[in-house]
Amino acid sequence: MLKSMTGFGRAQEVINNREILVEIRSVNHRYYEFNSRVPRAYGYLDEKLKGFLNGRILRGKVEVSVSIINQEGADAAIEVNRSIVGGYVNALRDANKELELKDDLSLSSILRLPDIFNVVKTVEDEEVIWADVKKVAGLALDKFIAMRETEGVKMHDDISSRLDYIENVVGKIEKRSPEVVNAYRDKLYSKIKEILQDKNIDDARVLTEVCVFSEKIAVDEETVRLKSHIAQYRSLIESTEPVGRKLDFLTQELNREVNTIGSKGQDLETTKMVVDLKSEIEKIREQIQNVE
């Protein structure tokens, strides 16, 4: 089934005391182009995310945004500054000896002293961070792919409908082609009769002229190829593989055959049908520009 190259997915989770938010969005592009916005401290995630997404996104201009917020105190450790505490205790006890004060030094009184604690930022394990981000990115990616598939269903139905219409018009052109030849033959006979009046008409000469005209406007080869291309198109839009580039090529082939039919057209009705075909093919072309 077709997938659109346009998509969006968002996931947010709290894992290991970190609030992680991942957003994935994309627009159509000829190849796979990746850009990311991650916090400066987590720059190593860029290549990991690129490889992770590349397994499931083959075409499109993709942008990934990552936010990581450590919950209060989660990325820090509190340590007692033992040298300062020891210095306070020794100084107080020395003063106590000199002043002969009551020794009621306790933990609660020490806690009120300044600079006895150090806040140390913990070193984060990159592999642990990546595992957490990867989990959230996977959830966002699932939503992203689901949106692409939903859009792909709409594109599939639209293209399928237009292929039916094109095939129907091609059938009318096939039917119209011999009618144009017969009309030309009758017109040729009438014109020759008018010119020659009562003189005998050279049937062989008329037949030759009709044959030349028939060869000139024959579109059998073009209509056969058109039907073949349409059959291939239907097969591709049912495929589970990325088919955007193949569809682009087939669309060019459809347009080429229709142009050839248009150049051979010798009557107004066929010309109108060719214009309709070109219009439908252009609408299909606009659709497949966004197919993965």
Give tens-digit pLDDT for 108-148: 766 666 777 665 565 578 999 999 999 999 999 999 999 99
Output the CA–CA distances (angstroms, integers) from residue 190 to 24, 100, 186, 201, 204, in the order listed.
71, 142, 6, 10, 15
With residue 70 as reference, give the H or E element that holds it. Answer: strand 60-70
Q: Read off the tokens for 122.
A: 């913990």
pLDDT of residue 249: 94
Look at residue 223 in the predicted model and tell me its pLDDT.
82
Residues 6+ apart with CB under 8 A from 246: 236
Rounded CA-CA distance 200/45 in Å is 91
Nearest Cα residue to 19 out of 64, 70, 76 = 70
Helix, strand, or coil (residue 191): helix
- 211 alpha-carbon distance from chain centroid: 51
Please give the Cα distance from 2 to 114 (Å, whole number): 66
What is residue 177's three-state secondary structure?
helix
Beta strands (DSSP E) in 3-59 are: 7-15, 18-27, 32-37
Task: Kindly tell me the burial class for residue 212, based on how many C-beta atoms sit within 10 Å of its own C-beta (0-12, 13-18, 19 or more).
Answer: exposed
Measured between alpha carbons, how far is 92 from 101 in angstroms, rounded to an integer?
10
Task: Please report the pLDDT score of residue 222 as a whole number.
Answer: 82
Quick: pLDDT tens for 37-49. 999 889 999 999 9
* 219 in Cβ contact with 169 (< 8 Å): no
The rounded distance, in Å, linking the Cα atoms of 180 and 173 is: 10
Structure-block tokens of residue 54: 């590349």
pLDDT, residue 204, reads: 62
Cβ density class 78-110: b for 16+ within 10 Å, e for less? eeeeeeebeebeeeeeeeeeeeeeeeeeeeeee
The number of CA neighbours under 13 Å toward the Cβ of 12 is 4
User: Which domains can be identified in the chain, with CATH numbers?
Assistant: 7-71+125-148 (3.30.230.70), 76-121 (no CATH), 150-288 (no CATH)
* Partners of residue 60 on adjacent β-strands: 32
pLDDT attached to residue 195: 52
**Other CB atoms within 10 Å distance of the CB of residue 219:** 24
pTM of the model: 0.69
Which ranges constitute the DSSP H helices of the chain? 45-54, 82-99, 107-111, 126-196, 203-217, 220-237, 244-264, 268-288
Low-confidence ranges of the chain (pLDDT < 50): 210
